[in-house]
Amino acid sequence: MTEDPSDASRRQAWREGPTEGGWLALSDDDLLYHIEALPADHELDQPLIEVVRSDRHFFIRQEAAKKVRNRDLLLDQSGDRHVGQILVRGMTRAEDVDYLERLMRDTRHLEVRKAAEAQLKTLRAKRR
pLDDT in tens, 110-123: 877 888 888 888 88
* pLDDT attached to residue 50: 93
What's the mean pLDDT when you consider all of the chain?
A: 79
Q: Is residue 12 very low, low, confident or very high in pLDDT (cuts 50, 70, 90)?
A: low
Last residue of a domain, one of 44, 69, 94: 69
**4 occurs within a structural domain:** no
Distance in angstroms (rounded) separating the CA atoms of residues 99 and 106: 10
- Split into its structural domains, the chain has a count of 2
Q: Are residues 22 and 60 in the same domain?
A: yes
**107 occurs within a structural domain:** yes
Choose among 71, 73, 57: nearest CA to 19: 57
The pTM of this model reads: 0.61
**111 occurs within a structural domain:** yes
**42 occurs within a structural domain:** yes
What's the number of CA atoms in the CB half-sphere (13 Å) around residue 106?
A: 10
Q: Are residues 27 and 51 in the same domain?
A: yes
**9 occurs within a structural domain:** no
pLDDT in tens, 95-115: 678 878 888 888 887 877 888
Q: Are residues 22 and 53 in the same domain?
A: yes
Domain of residue 103, residue span: 78-128
Q: Are residues 62 and 84 in the same domain?
A: no
